[in-house]
Structure 1
Amino acid sequence: MTENSNIEVAGMSISTQLSSPPSGVRKNRSAVWDHFDVENATEKKAKCKYCGSLIQYGNRTSSMGDHLRRCKQNPNNDSNKRRKITTTPTIDERSVLNSPGASKFDKEEARRALVKIFIREELPFCFVESPKFRIFVHALQARFKVPSQTTLARDIGALYAEEKMKLQDFLSANCGRVCLTTDTWTSIQNFTYMSLTTHFVDLNWKLHKKKYLIFVK
């Protein structure tokens, strides 16, 4: 039910429509009505804007307020906010939790991942024996035994030999020529390094680029 009202502002007459509250609801209505629509004024039923539930409001809105506090779809509900913050994983977390290996521990796979981190980030071997690093790894996976730097160096050498063999097999099977680019420099410790970059086209005419870091005595 609506009624027209004329308002004069600075000599101008503006016609507006004012919405009347539903039958049985006081004009100085409760803020709870911001979350409900009147579904049936005769039967005094209101519809929740979030979940669509019909609530009998009578002459009081306490039942509507109780529903809002329990409504799982209500974004303003503090318990729903806390539940969303504490239980909703991020995209990265979901990918880890849903991965096949999330519930099992593979010692060899963990050792291999550790080796790849040290190679990719160019970390010194002694870092693996850092007490802080070992505490961190133990907190992540107590069953993983962090190797010594001697064992780590041996694992890196084994991975290098494995990848070298794979590359040789790939080059012999997919291409006849490669283009090599080299660059050398000396570190502040007076160690000489050489960077080797290879470009080649495979049998499917796909261009490949691989870069290697070589220590030269």
Structure 2
Amino acid sequence: MSDSEENAPSTTSSQVTDFVDKKGHSTSVVWSYFGFLQSDTKQSDEHCKLCRRLVPSKTGNTTNLFHHLKQRHPSEHEDAKKLQTQTSVGKRRGPSTSISATTQQSLMSSFSKAVPYEKKTKRHGDITKAVAYCIAKDMLPISLVENEGFKNLIHVLDPRYELPGRKHFSQTALPRLYTECRETVERHLQNVQFFATTSDIWSSRTSEPYLSLTVHFIDEDWNLQSKCLQTA
């Protein structure tokens, strides 16, 4: 401990009410434990916040401050040293790693948005199948896939997906969905021993007559099932 610190008069609680932090950007962690009196507008006399002792030090020099912590507050001195080490490592490694990761992510994101899916990929097939299911389930016109609003919706949801035209849905996607649905119904009916059928007849808005045949049965889990076999 220096003679100046040893001979420095201690500041009593009545003399010290509140401390203010060091002005400007403090790069050293030691300033967490030191401050200045509010009346010290020039901030020339450093005081320890722990014991309120005046610790003289040269302007910008923190050696004497660390020395004070080491001699009088060893536990806080160890914490300050650990924090100083972590800060130094972060300054050396943190920024470069962060910038590199950000740049890499940005480049990957840009390339991924620019390259469309291959038509044979699972992602492209799943989206196409979902669009076909939406058209069939909600009985929407196939021309939906040519509407600008629907195209924009698909593009916002996944910019890499290129929506096929109505010809693909009418000749490929919807017939494939029909085949899958038909095969599923056939599997369900293979082991059915008892069933009932109902028919329904109606006319469209253009006076075209329709007739449907529906089969009803109870499955192995005792759930009532109804499957439309044909609409003609």
**TM-score, structure 1 as length reference:** 0.45
Larger radius of gyration: 2
Task: Tell me the TM-score normalized by structure 2.
Answer: 0.43
